[in-house]
Amino acid sequence: MTWQEAVMGASGMAFVLVITVVLIMQGAATWRARMTVAREEAHRRLSEDAIKAQQETAAKLEKVLAELAVIREKTSALERALAEVGEPWQPTR
């Protein structure tokens, strides 16, 4: 084997090594990009679910507040009626 053949063999092996490293690096970059897209998609879905839950909670809160207003109104009317009639269950002194 001559020195030219040895240099060509070493150059060929170096070239194959460089190509292999580049392919591995590009594969890793592609994998990271896919994972980033998947993570962003999951975050988007989570955000949409949170917004939907907040909207449902707000609607339920409005309903509860409306019911509470009705209960307060009825309680006030009952208190006025009791004040007019008096409180017969309490003994007089």
Q: pLDDT tens-digit profile of 33-74?
A: 999 999 999 999 999 999 999 999 999 999 999 999 999 999
Q: Across the chain, which distance is largest between two alpha carbons, in Å?
A: 128
pLDDT at 29 over 70: yes
More confident residue, 86 or 66: 66
Q: What is the DSSP letter of 89?
A: T
% of the chain with per-residue pLDDT over 90: 77
Residue 81 carries which side chain, given as an amino acid letter?
A
More confident residue, 18 or 80: 18
Q: Work out the mean pLDDT of the chain and round it to a whole number.
A: 92
Instruction: Give the separation between CA 46 and CA 62, rounded to whole angstroms.
Output: 24
Instruction: Give the separation between CA 32 and CA 56, rounded to whole angstroms.
Output: 36
